[in-house]
Structure 1
Amino acid sequence: MNLLKENTLEAEIAKILVVEDERAIARDLKESLEHLGYCVPAIASSSAEAIALAEIWHPDLILMDIVLEDSERDGIETAQEIRDQFRVPVVYLTAHATTTILERAKATDPFGYLLKPFREKDLWVAIETALKRHRLERALHEREEWLSHILSSMGDGVIVFDTESRIRFINPVAESLTGWTETEAIDQPIQHIFHLICEKERSPLLSTLLQTVFHGELFYLLLDTLLITKSGQEVPIFDSAAPLRDRQGVVTGGIRGLRLNNTPVMQEEW
């Protein structure tokens, strides 16, 4: 077991809150965790105590017994409240792996399960897997917030959509141009929200834009393009779009850039 302890990240010792109403099991669990190199700042035996200790200690992970006998809420309800308030990952401990319990637990998006009784090695694997997943999700969330901040600060309208043509992001400038708020637009098919037409031919242009992007190509509309806003107003714009790709190069959606076309109309001299 020394090997497990050596493999635990020493640079940043994880704090683990134990929620277990059976004192003997809680004590043994604390000893195992400390033997593996983790820090156990507290043990909770009820739902209310678990929530209070989570707020005090800000643990990196919680080991949550699903069945809390002397508590108003069971471990699943408690885990959901802790996730909502503190975004702390939870690994469930249970000796009752019924289908009903597992379905309820799954709905709270847990980071793992451990069936009692379990070996110390299984405990370590479950914890390290949960901590790694949480670090990755947190990094992804921070990256998405950073990207959202950048896109929101841009002077052009920006609309991001997925391969089903559903809107995933719209920045304030795009809201102003189109008349649609982010709340109204998110998850809606882009065809239902934004309409583009050629000013001269009065023909729709959005389907051509989507086809071009989903084929992995750039799309530009620089002249004679009108955006029909939510109120029905026709606004001259420059419109461009580019495919979004994952690390393997697969197209996962697209991003549109909108800008008012303030170019004055040149009158022909006679």
Structure 2
Amino acid sequence: MSKLTRSQVQHDSGLIQARHNTQRWNENVKLELQNLAAATPAGTSLVAIQRHVAVTLATWDAVWGEYLHPKWAEQKMRLHGAQDMVLERYFMKLEEEAASVSQQEWGARKQLVVFFGNASIGTRGGWGAKAVLQACRKVVERPNSGKPTDRVPGRVVTVNEFRTSRFSSILNCPQPCEEELDSSKPTRPEGWKPKPGQVQDRLLWSAWSKRFEAPVRGLMWCPWLGFKKLREPAPKATAQQLVAQ
């Protein structure tokens, strides 16, 4: 199962390397930047403003001599659209993996449908939910080239994650301990407590990826149903099945 994290996007797009470069290049004007930060013009004091102007004029040549170097513009151009390209390559990889599975299971490439959780993802570093959705649609929903061997255009369906729950809908019925209660009464008797072993765990657990040793985002499972299936005895063979054997 493929997984793309924020750190992977920042590394592959060059954001982490650009951050290291910025810190290293700023060392050339470290003293000037410290003086500028100390001489802040905050407030309405005439003395503070005059001091800020004096420090700015004193450090002007050194600061702009560094920032006008072509390496800063070249780094900015390298970062332009880099995150979008990383996201597009990721969805291209997912599309190829899905096509391979479809070919093995059904002998043909089926239409790929991606359900995208329409929830906010932190926008720090320019990687927001809207950017991820646009990159996904650009790859999955791109038109067919007309060749017989080309892929079938896919679909991206946005799913609203508002008021989603981590509780199993299968176990959303009354608990076994609640069967003895009078359903016509709106409240439980005072001091009533469920008996031990009569409360089922409705909370879903995150699915765990053995390959990446990490939880799979958005994939949950119900432990109570899983344990119940393990505890259930194997079905006994009927008389007709025994005769057939």
Q: What TM-score, normalized to structure 1? A: 0.22
Larger radius of gyration: 2
Structure whose residues are more often helix by fraction:
2
